[in-house]
Structures are given as structure tokens and as C-alpha cells.
Amino acid sequence: MKRTTGPRALALIISAILLLAGCGREQAADESEDPKLLLGFSQLGSESSFRIGNTRDIEEKAEEYGISLMLENANQKQENQIAAIRSFIAYRVDVIAFSPIVEDGWDNVLREAKDAGIPVVLVDRTIRTEDDSLYESLIGADFYEEGVMAAEYLLRKADDLGKDRLNIVEITGTEDSTPMKQRHEGFFDTIGGDSRMNLLESVNGDFLRSRGAECMEYLLETYGDDIDVIYSHNDEMTMGALPKIENAGYRPGEDMVIISIDGGQEAIDILKEGKINCIVECTPMLGSILMETAMKLKAGEAVEKVTHPVERTFSDYDDIGNLEPRGY
């Protein structure tokens, strides 16, 4: 392996200054060697088992592919992600990847990456921009379709329950994030024409277990017995909500239909117990596609603009006794 050249060492010093200014590097490439490919990845946080699984998968796949990974965890703050992307530019990584916490506010920093000639890959979530040349590729779930799948389950369940009216409460993910917006739209577009469906209220749980518990407490106090269906945008919030439902004297999965998204092991085990009725999968295993895409970009090859992983639904209509361990 060759030693690093002077400019890269200089870039490292600049990067170190930027990091000291608040970016907090978790793991860096060995700056004494020129790696096959240097990938800077800004993860948005550690709010859920999905997120932790996604970070682990990217670390493992980078290792497998022999790619050097500079990983930054933004701890749920967009400004930390912007600072991390700037440090990757200063370091002159080969490819920048990041999972945008929200959709808006990225144009300036992505223009800096483009001006520096560094290709950008969006992982998991997308951004809102007029200029889609600011990123090369998006690798992540079709969140709209996840909302559709959740609604399709509910329509089937409604037929079986035979009720005239189903009152729904929705616990949404982070405001202005892609999964929050698209899971809401996909779900309500799909049930919209069905006169049995009635939304009582949507509340924001920020994808966090603690917020899921708080939201559920509020919803139970406000609507109590009227609640028939809980549509929660991720497993973490669902698992925060479940003890509140039980403490209030209801049987989740029987007195109330519980619909969740992600499909991590803990939630799947609860589904098997009957306390969750349906989980729409959102897979965090995006590492291999990311590594393949990064290598193509470094080689100057064309890449797919959008790649969605294939996902499925797990529900009380399925036999999931022999399901493989989920890995997150």
C-alpha cells in the first residue's frame, strides 16, 4: 500500500479541525494508507433497531468489500450531518453517502460536494431538491408502498371484523422525513375511499420508543374506548405504546388492531404473541447495494438513480413460525 500524499495529509488536518468543531468522528479510515475506496457515511442517529441494524450492516459490508469507511453518527441533528458531509469533502473521500434525517435543506452542502467532484449517494431516505443532479443514487425503501401495504392489511381485517366504523389513531415518524410523509400518504390514499375508516388523530412520535409511549398515553386519555386501530410508523414507537395500552386495561391485538412498520426481531416476537397484528417490513440491509454503487461511481460507471429493496408484510394471517432470525 502507498503512503498518503501531501494534499491528503493537509486535508486530514482540515478535517480534524472541522471534527473538533463539533462533528465527533466515530470511526475513521487509516490515513496512512490509500484504500481501494474511501467512503464517508453520515448516519442520522441511533433511534431504532432499524437504524442500529443499518449502521451495523454498512460497517460489515464495507469490511467485506475492502472499502474504508469514515462513519459519523449525527445523533438526530441535521446540522451534524451537514458538518460531517463538509468534513468528508475536506478529507476528499471518493464517495459520500448519507441518510438524510429530513428532506429539506441539503442543496448548499451537496453543491459543495458536486463542485469538489465527489459523488453522493442517499441511503434509506430521500431529499427534496429542484436539482436531482446533486446526488447520483438513492438506495432505500419505497415508503409509500409500505403505507399501501399497511392499509391493505387493514382493509382485509375490517372485512373480517365486520364493523361499520373503525376509528384510527396514527403515530407518525420524524416530521418532514421521507418515511413519515410517504407512509402517511400511502396509507390514507389507500383507505381514503372506504367509508368505514375514520382518522381520529395523527400525533408525532419522532420514531422514538419514549415518544411512542407519550403519544399513546395522550391518545388513550383523549379517545379511550373509541380507538379501534393504531397505525404506528415504526416498531420502536409501537413497543413504547404497547405497555400503555395494557396498563389502561386493553388487550393489544384484540381490543385494538395494531399495525407497525420495520419488522425487527423484538416486534416480530411480539407479533407471534398476538399483541401486534401486522408489521410491514422495512429492511435496513442496504450495505451491499451501497458498496456496489460506490465502487461503480469510483470507476466512473453508470448507476441506478433509485433502488428499492423488496419488502413484505408479516401478519396474523401468515404462518411465521419458521421465519429466519431478522438480524436487527
For the record, the C-alpha cell of 177 comes out as 422525513
Q: How far is the CB of 264 from ligand AHR (least distance, A)?
A: 8
DSSP, res 195: T
Of the listed pieces 8-16, 43-51, 104-112, 311-319, which binds ligand AHR according to CB under 6 A?
Answer: 43-51
Does 57 contact ligand AHR by CB under 6 A?
no
Q: How far is the CB of 280 from ligand AHR (least distance, A)?
A: 9
Q: Can you tell me which residue has the cell 397484528? A: 277
Closer CB to ligand AHR, 48 or 293, in the complex: 48
Contact pattern from residue 180 through residue 219 relative to ligand AHR, giving x for each residue in contact according to CB under 6 A and a dash for the rest: ---------------------------x------------
The C-alpha atoms of residue 249 and residue 273 are separated, in whole angstroms, by 17
Closer CB to ligand AHR, 80 or 234, in the complex: 234
Closer CB to ligand AHR, 91 or 143, in the complex: 143
Q: How far is the CB of 323 from ligand AHR (least distance, A)?
A: 19
Number of residues binding to ligand AHR, judged by CB under 6 A: 13
The C-alpha atoms of residue 23 and residue 18 are separated, in whole angstroms, by 7
The C-alpha atoms of residue 22 and residue 5 are separated, in whole angstroms, by 26
DSSP, res 21: I
Whether residue 187 contacts residue 199, with contact meaning beta carbons closer than 8 Å, is answered with: no
Interacting residue with ligand AHR among 124, 136, 170, 214 (CB under 6 A): 124
Q: Among 121, 116, 59, 62, which Cα is nearest to 87's?
A: 116
Q: Among 291, 294, 192, 276, which Cα is nearest to 234's?
A: 276
Residues forming the site for ligand AHR (CB under 6 A): 47-48, 50-51, 124-125, 179, 207, 234, 236, 261-262, 282
